[in-house]
């Protein structure tokens, strides 16, 4: 009759599947989060995500106390596989409730926890919460997973009813929240991390997610027209909140779906993005090998660039010093803030793979370290899309031109100006490809390429030809 709710990527007290079921079925419910040293020990000592998590835990602790005086969050620091069964035994609970986390490492961990609990004769119950449709909920007529997005999306929309988007009314059963045995969220320093400030746009907690969403509601109808321009406040900036569950996907999708059904084109396109999220989630579920391999195996025959020049190119890409201003601005945005606009994720990923010829897995790993919203399924999906090796990916012979992308999506070079101030004195039209600027214009702006700003590390037309040759192996038989 006593339960433990184990929070993981669902750091909110509202509309929470596991919390709702635990409260409804138990007399007393204790809530816990484990700062898992198996994950934390591998991270750099300065990590924005850990800061985001601690902020969100603080907010969650307060939200639980607001639901029921005396309630709150227990935070443990240790190996989750051990801590959960240990705490369950200490508290003498009958069951541990949590929400599904379908990343391969999390599934392996949960299987161990479930076994340990079974040995103690305690139940392990987990629920769908993170996506609208998960695992095998949306399949083709032949019962197979979809490999192409549009038919998946159509099936997803056909299957959707208000039921799937209705919220779990946690507060109805809040009386079952037990007094918290040990409240208190540790500081970054006390768990061995450097203190750091998150930019206000990217700080943690459900209230922050809600205010971002309120702000986005006022411009959702323009999303379809504004989302591709990084200098414009077009997208929602909610990805990190979706990643850590400080906002409920049902709440967001419900609003977008209602508006889309009323004919709001912007809402319809935004809903599609949320469906992409479900799509990649189910790709990872059905094809866990994508974590290390190309979804299309023939793409693993490609020989990627290696050696000192490729290493220098990789470092230049990471540091935003490729000499291609939009690529550099984007990488600097990532390094400085932990966020990168979606259009720029496509441009920078394509540049690494198809202009520098570097294995997409290296870019994927770099994004995984830097992105505040890093999500294995979406990041892998995005990288395999850019590398043309994924399901429903960009065809390999379609190669973004980094200069025309810049002219099209940052036409006044305002985004470039923000992150590449070295070029600010150049007229905007010349900032997309400064090596093509007339020498007099460079001189007037006081810019010497190679001194003030890098000369381009590769020539796009040459790189394009090399890439087409490199990718030719995907057509030949193994
Ligand atoms: P909005 O435009 O407001 O979109 C709303 C939400 O829809 C996002 O928060 C996100 O949850 C979801 N979404 C949007 N686009 C996609 C997409 N293509 N795939 C899956 N979900 C999507 N997204 C991540 O959440 N984590 C990642 O690690 C990640 N890595 C990426 C890597 C590459 C190479 C590419 C091309 C895309 C990646 N994306 C990733 C998808 C997308 O770029 C981000 O979700 C988006 O930029 C986040 O900003 P937003 O919340 O303002 O998005």
**Would the CB of 350 count as within 6 Å of ligand 1?**
no
Domains and CATH numbers, the chain: 2-129 (3.40.50.620), 131-165+207-286 (1.25.40.80), 297-474 (1.10.579.10)
For residues 443-469, average pLDDT: 98
Cβ–ligand 1 distance for 236 under 6 Å, the answer yes
Q: Does the annotation count 99 as an active-site position?
A: no
pLDDT digits (tens, 9 = 90+) for 154-163: 999 999 999 9
For residue 462, indicate whether it is catalytic: no
What local confidence, expressed as pLDDT, does residue 199 receive? 86
Annotated catalytic, 383?
yes
Q: Is the pLDDT confidence value at 300 over 70? A: yes
Pocket probe mutation, ligand 1, options 342, 349, 377, max atoms within 8 Å of Cβ: 342
340 touches 237 (CB < 8 A): no
- Ligand 1: which of 277, 363, 374, 400 to mutate, most ligand atoms within 8 Å of CB? 277
Q: Is the CB of 383 under 6 A from ligand 1?
A: yes
Ligand 1 contacts CB of residue 235 (under 6 A): yes
Check residue 281 and give its pLDDT.
97
257, 360, 379, 417: the catalytic one is 360
* Confidence (pLDDT) at 475: 85
Using the predicted structure, report yes or no on whether residue 228 has a pLDDT greater than 80: yes
pLDDT, residue 319, reads: 98
Q: What is the overall mean pLDDT for the chain?
A: 97
Model confidence, pTM: 0.98
Segment 304-362, tens digit of pLDDT: 999 999 999 999 999 999 999 999 999 999 999 999 999 999 999 999 999 999 999 99
- Tens digit of pLDDT for each residue in 195-227? 999 988 889 999 999 999 999 999 999 999 999
- pLDDT tens digits, 356-405: 999 999 999 999 999 999 999 999 999 999 999 999 899 999 999 999 99
């Amino acid at each position: 009759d006593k339960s433990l709710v184990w929070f993981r990527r669902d750091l909110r007290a509202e509309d929470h599947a596991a919390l709702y079921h635990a409260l409804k079925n138990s007399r007393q419910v204790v809530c816990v989060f484990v700062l898992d040293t198996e994950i934390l020990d591998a991270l750099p000592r300065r990590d924005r995500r850990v800061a985001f998590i601690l902020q969100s835990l603080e907010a969650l602790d307060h939200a639980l106390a607001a639901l029921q005086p005396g309630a709150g969050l227990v935070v443990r620091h240790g190996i989750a596989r051990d801590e959960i069964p240990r705490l369950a035994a200490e508290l003498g609970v009958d069951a541990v409730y949590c929400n599904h986390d379908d990343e391969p490492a999390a599934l392996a961990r949960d299987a161990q926890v479930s076994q340990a609990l079974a040995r103690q004769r305690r139940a392990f119950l987990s629920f769908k919460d993170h996506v609208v449709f998960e695992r095998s909920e949306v399949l083709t007529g032949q019962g197979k997973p979809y490999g192409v997005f549009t038919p998946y999306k159509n099936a997803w929309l056909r299957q959707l009813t208000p039921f799937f988007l209705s919220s779990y009314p946690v507060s109805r059963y809040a009386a079952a929240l037990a007094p918290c045995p040990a409240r208190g969220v540790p500081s970054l320093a006390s768990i061995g991390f450097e203190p750091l400030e998150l930019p206000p746009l990217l700080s943690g907690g459900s209230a922050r997610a809600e205010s971002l969403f309120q702000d986005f509601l006022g411009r959702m109808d323009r999303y379809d027209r504004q989302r591709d321009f990084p200098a414009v406040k077009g997208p929602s900036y909610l990805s990190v909140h979706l990643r850590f569950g400080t906002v409920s996907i049902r709440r967001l999708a419900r609003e977008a779906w209602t508006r889309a059904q009323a004919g709001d084109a912007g809402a319809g396109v935004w809903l599609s993005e949320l469906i992409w999220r479900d799509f990649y989630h189910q790709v990872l579920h059905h094809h866990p090998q994508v974590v290390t391999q190309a979804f299309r195996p023939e793409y693993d025959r490609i020989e990627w660039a290696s050696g000192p020049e490729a290493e220098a190119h990789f470092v230049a890409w990471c540091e935003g010093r490729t000499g291609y201003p939009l690529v550099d601005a984007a990488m600097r945005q990532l390094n400085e803030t932990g966020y990168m606009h979606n259009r720029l994720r496509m441009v920078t990923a394509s540049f690494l793979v198809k202009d520098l010829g570097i294995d997409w897995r290296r870019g994927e790993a770099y994004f995984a370290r830097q992105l505040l919203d890093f999500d294995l399924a979406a990041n892998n999906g995005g990288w395999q899309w850019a590398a043309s090796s994924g399901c429903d990916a960009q065809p390999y012979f379609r190669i973004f031109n980094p200069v025309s992308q810049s002219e099209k999506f940052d036409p006044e070079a305002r985004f470039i100006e923000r992150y590449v101030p070295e070029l600010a004195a150049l007229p905007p039209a010349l900032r997309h490809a400064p090596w093509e600027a007339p020498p007099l214009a460079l001189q007037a702006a006081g810019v010497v390429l190679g001194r003030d700003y890098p000369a381009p590390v590769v020539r796009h037309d040459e790189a394009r030809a090399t890439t087409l040759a490199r990718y030719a192996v995907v057509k030949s038989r193994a």
